[in-house]
Chains A and B, each alone.
Chain A
Amino acid sequence: MKTPLRPLVLAAVASLLAVGCGPTPPAAFRLNMVEAVAPSAEKDSVAAELALSIDQQRQVATILAALFGSPDEPFCQPEMGLDPAKLRLAAGPVRSDIVGRKNGLYREHCVHCHGITGDGLGPTAAFLNPYPRDYRPGIFKFKSTERSDKPTHADLVKILHNGVPGSSMPSFALLSPAEVDALAEYVKYLSIRGETELALMRTFFELDDDAQGKLAETREFLIDEIVAPIAEKWTAASEAVIEVPEMPADEDLAASIEKGRALFHGNKANCVKCHGVTALGDGQANDYDDWNKDIVKIRDKLAKLAAGEADAAERRWAAGFQEVLVSEALRPRTIPPRNLRHGIYRGGRRPLDLYYRIHAGINGAPMPAAKGTVASEDIWHIVNYIRSLPYDFDGELGADRAVAVRPGPAVGLAATQED
């Protein structure tokens, strides 16, 4: 039996192959469209009149091209404190240079998740949980510096080398140190570029009326006022590493764990509020990180607008915004507090890493800093308690009891079997 459909299908495929998709355009950075439509640090107060016009968007794109070049030809100003040679190694299409050294490392290893612009919107991003980091706001979670400071170069290298356990971020330990170094530099470049873009877009509202809605294209404004303060934070990071006092050495470990347990559950450190009584991360579970929270706020704002009496301009803005959100933002997800029974810590499991997390909190996440209100030796006690948690399970989760002092081996197991 012959099917009449087959030649038709063949013809369709053939014509598609013949027409093809045209030559691939050179890789281009994408404009931050969510910010262009809602340029404000406070996303629940965005409004139609703040949105950037097409001309303003084009001005931002042009300024960024002048300051940072393109994905194939990155450029940096001396004030950015970046090494152009490292950027060249990481940027551009994957290729070998004249000495056979591989170039285009970012596009080989990173782009499919983090996106060509470093916006965390690569093609695989939507399928990952947690979503890949969007570098553009310049916020990084796992670092050795204070909450408001940038990570050091060594912090970025460490993340690249170790990966982020419990997430899709793999280890790049098989790359040479020079390659990892180049990638860390490129992440900084994308981040400085993204923060510059945010700052430029948010400046339009601040303009005086006589500026006629156009940013000044002068060195004083672009470099001194916008780029330099952003870049200085990065160069200052190496000076901002948290000073960690020695773990109290004369302390009995069991006693320290017990103190940590009291702090964890007590009113001072208050860990229990989010991480839960059982430390399973089941306390406050309906909060968002900063990246997702912005999208939630915008979504709520648009819903409010749709419910109220919006004028024509507002409705047009809202409709355009919906389109931008569909294509330029991932579906917001809540951020569960870490389940401390797993023994998997995104920023590293060394006692020192846990100390950093508790001392400075996690920037971009709801986790607050204990610095200032919880003494450093108390932070060490909490670290010890947390480190004991994965080994504490004996079938009585949630029982409010001491964990360190066990009369003998396998007591927990015996207890559950008897039950």
Chain B
Amino acid sequence: MADVCFRNGLWAVVVAMATCVGCGSGRVIGPAPDLVAAAKLREVVGAASEAAGGAQEAASTGSGWGSLKGRFVFGGTPGERQVLVVDKDMEVCGKAGMKLFDQSLRVDASSKGLADVVVFVRKSTRVKNPVPAEPLRFDQKSCEFLSPVFAARVGQPVDVRNSDPIGHNTNISGSSFNQLIPAGEGTVYLPTGETGMPISVTCNIHPWMKAYAVFRKDGYAAVSATDGSFEIADLPAGEPLEFQVWHARAASGLKLDRPELKWSAKGRFQTTIEADESKDLGTLEVPASALGG
């Protein structure tokens, strides 16, 4: 009797297991490759290059230089800035009841200027100025990065400083740069590659610290100031330029309704600057909805 019961139980277990294990993995599988197309593509890729000499590069069609400027304003009422959770090194980071605030939306109270908007040229044909040898200072004080968003040129030294009496580390994502920055000291980071959209800069010791960096080979990048204004100088004139616009709250591209600039869903606009022209886009109003409400 007991034996029969046991055996029945065993069968049930076997069936249950078979059902559970099933035949497939149940994983989300992407589309399979097109093997015929892959075989053809392998031949194309394997063939020696005929069009040598950077056929992909856009050709320069203009001459002279011009500049572009404008001012971003926030078209809404920014909410109360979020107080960050600060729970380490309180003698410095929370000194005398000091509070640290979320830096991802900085709006100037009087002018409504929107800071920290990044504007950069997607592809350029000519560059006027050599890479600056003078280091760009990137400092941290009171457990905050002093430049929440910054742009540097590839090859331009970034002087990563620490003006706090405590140690920090600076971790630039995607670059494998993550170094200790002892109290009152600094080190130099040399950006070696171009970033597409800005990348994040963090401190692992103080996880609330966050900044963004953009590195461009041509240096045609600007970050809007506290009053929302930006300017990019010495742009190649006489040829169409496409600009990418980014904000931390619109990280897949800041979209504006400006059809005359062909402003796209990817946050890009196009314009041509004439030689010696100082083109002013005027006031660019960013609706609250474009920055996540």
> CB distance B31 to A31 under 8 Å?
yes
A49 and B12 CA atoms in complex are apart in Å by 48
> CB distance B23 to A1 under 8 Å?
no
Contact partner of A67 among B37, B45, B88, CB < 8 A? B45
**B12 partner residues in chain A, CB cutoff 8 A:** 9
Q: Mark A57-88, 1 if CB is under 8 A from B, else 0.
A: 11001111111000000010100000000000
Task: Determine how close the nearest CB of chain B comes to the CB of A241; give it in whole angstroms.
Answer: 16
Check A298 for interface membership: any CB of B closer than 8 A.
Answer: no
Check B261 for interface membership: any CB of A closer than 8 A.
Answer: no
Contact partner of A65 among B5, B38, B292, B293, CB < 8 A? B38
Q: Mark B1-31, 1 if CB is under 8 A from A, else 0.
A: 1001101100110110010000100111111
A61 and B167 CA atoms in complex are apart in Å by 45
Check B35 for interface membership: any CB of A closer than 8 A.
Answer: yes
Check B163 for interface membership: any CB of A closer than 8 A.
Answer: no
Check B95 for interface membership: any CB of A closer than 8 A.
Answer: no
A42 and B165 CA atoms in complex are apart in Å by 30
Contact partner of B15 among A9, A33, A221, A372, CB < 8 A? A9
**A1 partner residues in chain B, CB cutoff 8 A:** 1, 4
Q: Which residue of A lies closest to B19 (CB)?
A: A16
Task: Determine how close the nearest CB of chain B comes to the CB of A354; give it in whole angstroms.
Answer: 16
Task: Determine how close the nearest CB of chain B comes to the CB of A383; give it in whole angstroms.
Answer: 15
> CB distance B41 to A66 under 8 Å?
yes
A68 and B42 CA atoms in complex are apart in Å by 9
> CB distance B41 to A217 under 8 Å?
yes
Contact partner of B32 among A16, A28, A224, A270, CB < 8 A? A28
Q: Which residue of A lies closest to B185 (CB)?
A: A373
**A368 partner residues in chain B, CB cutoff 8 A:** 169-171, 178-180, 204
Check A324 for interface membership: any CB of B closer than 8 A.
Answer: yes
Total chain B interface residues with beta-carbon distance under 8 A: 73
Residues 214-228 of A at the B interface (beta carbon under 8 Å): 217-225
Residues 304-352 of A at the B interface (beta carbon under 8 Å): 308-309, 323-324, 327-328
Contact partner of B37 among A41, A45, A62, A224, CB < 8 A? A62
Q: Mark A19-43, 1 if CB is under 8 A from B, else 0.
A: 0011000001011010010001110
Question: Which of B5, B49, B293 neighbours the largest number of chain A CB atoms within 10 Å of its CB?
Answer: B49
Report if A371-B29 is in contact (Cβ < 8 Å); known contacts: A66-B39, A270-B205: no
Q: Which residue of A lies closest to B289 (CB)?
A: A309
**A148 partner residues in chain B, CB cutoff 8 A:** 175-177
Q: Which residue of A lies closest to B193 (CB)?
A: A229
Q: Mark A359-396, 1 if CB is under 8 A from B, else 0.
A: 00101001111111110000000000000000000000
Q: Which residue of B lies closest to A267 (CB)?
A: B183
Check A95 for interface membership: any CB of B closer than 8 A.
Answer: no
Q: Mark A141-176, 1 if CB is under 8 A from B, else 0.
A: 000000111000000000000000000000000000
Check B51 for interface membership: any CB of A closer than 8 A.
Answer: yes
> CB distance B181 to A57 under 8 Å?
no
> CB distance B182 to A270 under 8 Å?
yes
> CB distance A220 to B34 under 8 Å?
no
Check A206 for interface membership: any CB of B closer than 8 A.
Answer: yes
> CB distance B45 to A77 under 8 Å?
yes
Report if A268-B183 is in contact (Cβ < 8 Å); known contacts: A9-B15, A31-B31, A148-B176: yes
Question: Which one of B73-81, B140-148, B194-202, B231-239 is at the A interface?
Answer: B194-202
Task: Determine how close the nearest CB of chain A comes to the CB of B8; give it in whole angstroms.
Answer: 6
A12 and B19 CA atoms in complex are apart in Å by 10
Report if A10-B251 is in contact (Cβ < 8 Å); known contacts: A3-B4, A66-B38, A267-B182: no
> CB distance B252 to A40 under 8 Å?
yes
> CB distance A373 to B47 under 8 Å?
no
> CB distance A209 to B264 under 8 Å?
yes
**A205 partner residues in chain B, CB cutoff 8 A:** 196, 252, 266
Q: Which residue of A lies closest to B175 (CB)?
A: A148
Task: Determine how close the nearest CB of chain A comes to the CB of B73; give it in whole angstroms.
Answer: 23
> CB distance A147 to B28 under 8 Å?
no
A77 and B45 CA atoms in complex are apart in Å by 9
Question: Which of B4, B179, B292 neighbours the largest number of chain A CB atoms within 10 Å of its CB?
Answer: B179
Check A5 for interface membership: any CB of B closer than 8 A.
Answer: yes
A219 and B204 CA atoms in complex are apart in Å by 40
> CB distance A267 to B8 under 8 Å?
no
Sample of 8 further A-B pairs with CB below 8 A, known A6-B8, A268-B167, A328-B28 = A10-B11, A42-B198, A65-B33, A225-B56, A270-B205, A327-B26, A327-B28, A368-B170
User: Could you list 21 A-B pairs, sorted by A, with CB under 8 Å?
Assistant: A6-B7, A13-B18, A30-B30, A31-B30, A36-B30, A40-B251, A45-B248, A49-B252, A50-B252, A57-B30, A58-B33, A66-B45, A67-B42, A147-B178, A148-B177, A208-B242, A209-B264, A220-B55, A273-B88, A368-B169, A372-B188
